[in-house]
Amino acid sequence: MDPLRELIDYKVARIISLLLKNKDEFFHLQKISKKAKVPISTTSRLVKMLVKSGIAQKTVVGSFKIYSLSKRWRNSTLGNIIQEHKELIDAKTAGILGLMLKNTEEYFHLQKISKGTGVPISSTSRIVHKLIRIGLVEKTIVGNFKIYRIAGSIKTSELRKLLK
């Protein structure tokens, strides 16, 4: 699985993935909602955002609006789309990664990350653990303390390019 997929909201990822898998199909909002397993109101909001950003296209047939993947993205992957559309990355995740990327040798505890980004501690904990799972952050335990830092992997160098 592409680690970049984990950086965006899962609902957006589901909708884009549906469109990528069905490149030549057109969908009504209800069908996108059902196939992507995303509530219809959320689907409507997200598809409008995808149309505005040029990832999806809207076609009006009579009184129906149908949607498909934009022609530009027909031969792409989700990772390619995310790299071009950085706005898809969750702002809290981007903030945490940005803070940690500023000093890759520094270790952070959750409270320092939370304070430095303004992200609530519960969200910080959830996001940091997601970043550990996808290999972008490393956890070290020293005594009773858990500390975190950016992983020195190839994924991290790609991430630096993405967040610039």
Average pLDDT, the chain: 86
Instruction: Tell me if 104 sits within 8 A of 153, measured CB to CB.
Output: no
Q: Which domains does the chain have, with CATH numbers?
A: 3-86 (1.10.10.10), 90-163 (1.10.10.10)
Inform me whether the pLDDT recorded for 101 exceeds 70.
Answer: yes
Amino acid letter for position 149: R
Pairing of strands 137-142, 64-69: unpaired
Q: Are 80 and 119 in contact (CB under 8 A)?
A: no
> What CA–CA distance (Å, rounded) separates 99 from 3?
19
Least confident among 41-45, 53-57, 106-110, 156-160: 156-160
Distance of alpha carbon 145 from alpha carbon 132, whole angstroms: 16
State the pLDDT confidence band at 90, using cuts at 50, 70 and 90: confident
